[in-house]
Structure 1
């Protein structure tokens, strides 16, 4: 258990006059308890946390996860349910004198919410829907977390370079994606942080392209977007390059995307408005005549989840804070030609930002 995180959350509960909170989102569960078991879907849970405003927190799970819960959730009272979570809560909440219970409204199926409401009504507990309570805590990384994420970033680069050296015409998108994901695990990662994207030529015009059996041709664009999980923390990197001789138009567009990325990096600092960072990078691409071909946001936060707060988008008026980690990933996507995206990760600092990546493939101006 991370005592400081739990205590910080308990202070928030006291401030909001809540007697306890139910944590169901898997990354939040791991962040607070250290319990790493994975859900098999939103309909099936490996356990939930019940954290009262004072005292020892609880991990509620079933017999499948009993040993793992005891080993990992140090400081938590582990309670097993045999008749389901809601039957156990029906007993626990009155025993803990819980009258106002917060729950993560953004991570509850309607059917689950109905069961929770039925249980709460029977024990006379008021339910209070909460949004991003723990996510706001997760957005600011400690120096220990930053170091773990940097290790994830550097291992991701090592995997990329190991496979990059083997690339040659005749290979397929699927073949390269499988090689990357296999290398992640053989080199020490828990696995990919998302499904690896490998796209050749015109396929690279799809920002979230799915690898196919398309065969790489000499001189063709290759876009690789990859990330891995190391000690629970994610990395995310995109590189675009050509195997063989690159054409002049590709080089020109690559330089534009790289200049946009550098403009975004330069705009990042504590206090900067997220949409202004997005605007700084987007202006470079727009001024070059490709504004209509950069449709997604400039970046997103990364931590225990590969996509988390903050978002570097044109509608986000929130300010960056020191300790946040974000991606900077501008792109140009042209149907029938292809796409270029370059993505690095950086830590927000008081006077600027610290880029975590060391790999320079495709980044030379």
Structure 2
């Protein structure tokens, strides 16, 4: 039966006991009178991507880490950790704070009433809701759930802003010491479980479904947004088929043409594709927050000699990078070797970013993981089994120069338990495949 769960609720200067069943809702306080509440509307939903055992295993490992580090409770605020430790709840902030509280006994999502009962349905455990009618209601909910917790409170310094940090300190009744749990949990998430790897593989296959849908519709005079729409629709439909119990959100395509290819994250426009255009195909499949991307350089109909020279050079760097991703390799050493290769090709000054990064909880709304598993020259992480990393060399030649435009190829590799490396991206790359004739 759908109902709002009864609990002692904080109202203006008094406690209000509310049993928010549909039949009785007119006989109790309004939402405006309530600061915190439970909103158990409907039934708990089946896990979208992962088994209950997978999610509980993550929580158990977290609690073991907390005990080892002497952390009494964790207060996660990032999309990444809330998703990871809830098994699939991706909040929509709209300038409202959210968190997940984990103690040795509790696992509670704190969410805004604007989301109704959906956070409770998506949580494997508990959920407390705060209303918007008073500005500090979020912190009332946090303090209520932390209860008599004393000692260190783990927070994510790589996500928590100064206002939230300051207000949290003011509201904590026991003046708990705040310690960083952001970097330790990022390192924990670098090693993927078998279920995570299965999801990443399915997501990669879905991105390729989107890629092929894009190539089907692109042609001379077709605007970028029409190509992007075709790819996005194909990916969403495929995710719905593979994961019928998942939330369908945040999969997208950036399809760029001509000068719009100069930036990796340039938005889709109404520019119409022309023959000879440099094209950048970027399909981001994101089943319930677990993102992978397919990125390929393409040309429509033909490719000039100047463009072909640059494209082939970048493809050679991509191929070299695929060879360098091996267990025991250091991220910084891979980055340095590829930078040296760009220098030898005379293209180092056109390199736009590092050559790869980790994959899991990711979106254009909430970004990549924190620093760690990234192919940058200042990252000393050593690749090991269970890691998933991309190879993504990118260069941009400025407008007005021969071969002007952006070039990038993106493949995803898994380091398996037996130390083999598996490239899970099968969509072809390079001039022999992606000069598209229409």
What's the TM-score once normalised by structure 2's chain length? 0.75
C-alpha spacing 1:127/1:10, structure 2 compared with 1 (3 Å): same
Q: Which residue of 2 aligns with 1:356?
A: 424
* Kept after mapping to 2: 8 A contact 1:282/1:330: no
Q: Tell me the secondary structure at the aligned position of residue 323 of structure 2.
A: helix
**Change over 3 Å in CA distance of 1:202–1:86 after alignment to 2:** closer
* 1:153 and 1:236 in contact (8 A); partners too: yes
Question: What is the CA RMSD across the aligned residues, in angstroms?
Answer: 2.3
Match of 1:212 in 2: 269
> Among 105, 128, 146, which residue is 1:79 paired with?
128
Q: Following the alignment from structure 2 to structure 1, what is the Cα–Cα distance between the partners of residues 92 and 249?
A: 16
**Contact 1:24/1:49 (CA < 8 Å) preserved in 2?**
yes
Q: Return the offset for 1:125.
A: 2.5
**2:409 maps to what in 1?**
342
* SS of 1:136 mapped into structure 2: helix
The structural deviation recorded for 1:244 is 0.7
Structure 1 residues 259 and 22, CA gap change in structure 2 (3 angstroms): same
Identify if the C-alpha distance between structure 1 residues 61 and 313 changes in structure 2 by more than 3 Å, giving closer, same or farther.
same
What secondary structure sits across from 2:63 in the alignment? helix
After TM superposition, the structure 1 stretch with the greater mean CA deviation from structure 2, 78-87 or 229-238, is 78-87
Q: Distance in 2 between matches of 1:61 and 1:241?
A: 43
Alignment correspondent of 2:382:
319
Does residue 1:36 correspond to 2:104, yes or no? no
User: Are positions 1:144 and 2:195 aligned together?
Assistant: yes
1-side partners of 2:142 and 2:195: how far apart?
35
2:66 corresponds to: 13
1:221–1:338: 8 Å Cα contact kept in structure 2?
yes
Does residue 58 (structure 1) correspond to residue 115 (structure 2)? The answer is: no
Query: What is the rounded CA distance, in whole Å, between the counterparts of 2:427 and 2:147 in structure 1?
Result: 55
Report the alpha carbon displacement of residue 51 of structure 1 after superposing the two structures with TM: 1.1
Question: Residues 8, 291 of structure 1: CA spacing in aligned structure 2 closer, same or farther, 3 A cutoff?
Answer: same
1:159 Cα deviation from its structure 2 partner: 1.4
Contact 1:26 1:39 (8 Å CA) reproduced: no
Structure 1: how far apart are the matches of 2:374 and 2:411? 15
Q: Which consecutive residues of structure 2, in runs of 5 or more, have no partner in the other structure?
A: 1-51, 241-247, 434-438
Instruction: Tell me, yes or no, if the aligned pair for 2:208 and 2:283 is still in contact at 8 Å.
Output: no
Kindly report which structure 2 residues correspond to 1:1-365, keeping only aligned pairs within 5 A, or say none: 2-41=55-94, 43-45=95-97, 47-52=98-103, 54-65=104-115, 67-74=117-124, 76-81=125-130, 84-95=137-148, 97-120=149-172, 122-188=173-239, 190-193=248-251, 196-306=253-363, 307-308=368-369, 309-336=372-399, 337-349=404-416, 351-362=419-430, 364=432
Structure 2: distance between partners of 1:4 and 1:102:
19
Deviations 1:93-119 (A, max 9, x none): 343x43321211222222211110101
Displacement after TM superposition at 1:278 (Å)? 1.8
Q: Secondary structure at the match of 1:340?
A: strand
Partner of 2:22: none
Q: Secondary structure in 2 aligned to 1:225?
A: strand
Question: How far 1:364 moved relative to its partner?
Answer: 4.5
Does structure 1 conserve the Cα–Cα contact (< 8 Å) formed by 2:107 and 2:126?
yes
- Secondary structure in 2 aligned to 1:279? helix
Q: Which runs of 5+ in 1 are unaligned?
A: none
1:49-79 per-residue CA deviation (whole Å, 9 max, x = no partner) reads 2111x234233334455633443322x2333
Q: In structure 1, how many angstroms separate the alpha carbons of the residues matched to 2:199 and 2:431?
A: 24
Deviations 1:202-238 (A, max 9, x none): 3323333333332221122111222111244211121
How far apart, CA to CA, are the structure 1 residues paired with 2:119 and 2:190? 25
Deviates more, 1:281-290 or 1:220-229: 281-290
Distance 1:126 1:35, change over 3 A: same
Q: Secondary structure at the match of 1:270?
A: coil
Task: Give TM-score, length-normalised by structure 1.
Answer: 0.89
| Total equivalences in the alignment | 358
Name the residue aligned to 2:24. Answer: none
- Which one has a bigger Cα radius of gyration? 2
